[in-house]
A and B are shown apart, each in its own frame.
Chain A
């Protein structure tokens, strides 16, 4: 269990905080030190709105260690309204419900726990948009 790794990722996982390039305007998640579009180092924190659409999806039956309590669960690439593509789990949805183009929104959920006595890791997942 890497407490430090989870702690470092909190801002990204809890609030979808990435960066915005002050020179070309690109919005990036995860956070980068150099803008991949214009090579600028002038990047400032940006809080993504958490709205997007399913770009592609699948169902995980054989999960990595720590996630096996949730199988089978839908996983997806979500295209955020601001542009980036995010690899994520879908939640509050049956495994046969997701479709390409499904409007989704970010929620904060349990990602995993490190055993009965270890840390509980929270982070973003996406669910079908509750309300237009």
Chain B
């Protein structure tokens, strides 16, 4: 188990989901994929003027407001994403400038498919836990794309989640410990200059998502001496609506524990933000003293598992700072033609 010498926790958190939605039914209308793909209701689609940078900025601003923290005290702004607007030029510098963390800070982009955000969180925990910094921000944000007609098109959504890691005494939820589990598994990848990713079909599911998530979560619980019954809430990476439910059940959790963090049916798979948005939704509803298990998953492949306990500060800033439910409830449905325009699939010039 990983645990820093200095106790740390989440001093603030924030999330963001774009306004636009396309239903699975509408995608199926175009591609005639049948009922099997309708297990999501809809997914979030970024606006014409949104990208990973703008999504991360709003999530980061919400997190700073929750933390009631002067942004110049952030010693790092770390952003995990697979949909960076620039290949060379850190997205995190734009976010750090926009939230007011610059110039005496670190900023970098992290890459690990859908667990890039929690990879940044592990690093932020170590950074603050070592005493090198008092506060560090870890963000996961994505505007992922699925090839038209591909199964991924039903799920690839957009969103962001940001967390301010700081001293335990100021935390809304403090860290009990974490564990990471990584192997070289070719389940899903995208080569440079390729717009859409490729599935390693043989490796999807069991050897990748399930093995890594279960190994990380189980190792952490074993090391802490906890079982599923010791957790009030649990959040997993949500590539579709089946996998997180199946992995929760295999680990011995019941619906009451995973229900509040399961947002994929309404926003889609938000990639590096997926488990973070789930955690934000859970923190929005949690009472003091609740134990929460978070286990991300990133293709390639790996999982980061964290055990948090909420504190008396958990309700800080619940109003008027937007909650996840405010963003999920703000929805404008679009059709496939508008979706094609929003996602840059129309060549205009």
Contacts and interface: CB of A to CB of B under 8 A. Distances in A.
The answer to whether A binds B is: yes
A120 B86 contact: yes
B54 interface: yes
A14 to B, nearest CB: 4
B97 A10 contact: yes
B57 interface: yes
Nearest to A127: B19
Nearest to B94: A122
B58 A108 contact: yes
B85 to A, nearest CB: 6
B54 A109 contact: yes
Contacts of B58: 107-108
B330 interface: yes
B49 A91 contact: yes
B132 interface: no
Contacts of B47: 91-92, 109
Given A14-B97, A120-B86, A108 B57 contact: yes
A132 interface: yes
Interface string A109-132: 111000000001010010000111
Nearest to A125: B49
Contacts of B19: 92
A91 B57 CA distance: 16
A94 interface: yes
Interface residues of A, number: 22
B320 interface: yes
A14 B95 CA distance: 9
A110 B332 contact: no
A130 B322 contact: yes
B322 A15 contact: no
A70 B19 CA distance: 16
A97 to B, nearest CB: 10
Contact of A108 (B86, B98, B320, B326): B98
Nearest to B71: A15
B51 interface: yes
A64 interface: no
B330 A130 contact: yes
Contact of A110 (B49, B86, B320): B49
A121 B54 CA distance: 11
A15 B48 contact: no
Contact of A131 (B57, B94, B326): B326
B50 interface: yes
Given A14-B97, A131-B320, A131-B322, A108 B48 contact: no
Contacts of B321: 131
B333 to A, nearest CB: 12
A30 B48 CA distance: 26
Contacts of B100: 15, 47
Nearest to B18: A92
A110 B98 contact: no
Q: Which of B47, B85, B86, B100 has the most CB of A within 10 A?
A: B47
Contacts of B94: 122
B348 interface: yes
B54 A107 contact: yes
Given A14-B97, A14-B98, A122-B53, 17 more contacts: A15-B98, A15-B100, A69-B348, A70-B49, A91-B49, A94-B332, A107-B54, A108-B54, A108-B57, A109-B50, A109-B54, A110-B50, A110-B51, A122-B98, A125-B49, A130-B326, A131-B322
25 contacts: A10-B97, A14-B97, A15-B98, A15-B100, A47-B100, A68-B348, A69-B348, A89-B49, A91-B49, A92-B19, A94-B332, A108-B58, A109-B54, A110-B50, A110-B54, A120-B51, A120-B53, A120-B86, A122-B54, A122-B94, A125-B49, A130-B327, A131-B319, A131-B322, A131-B326
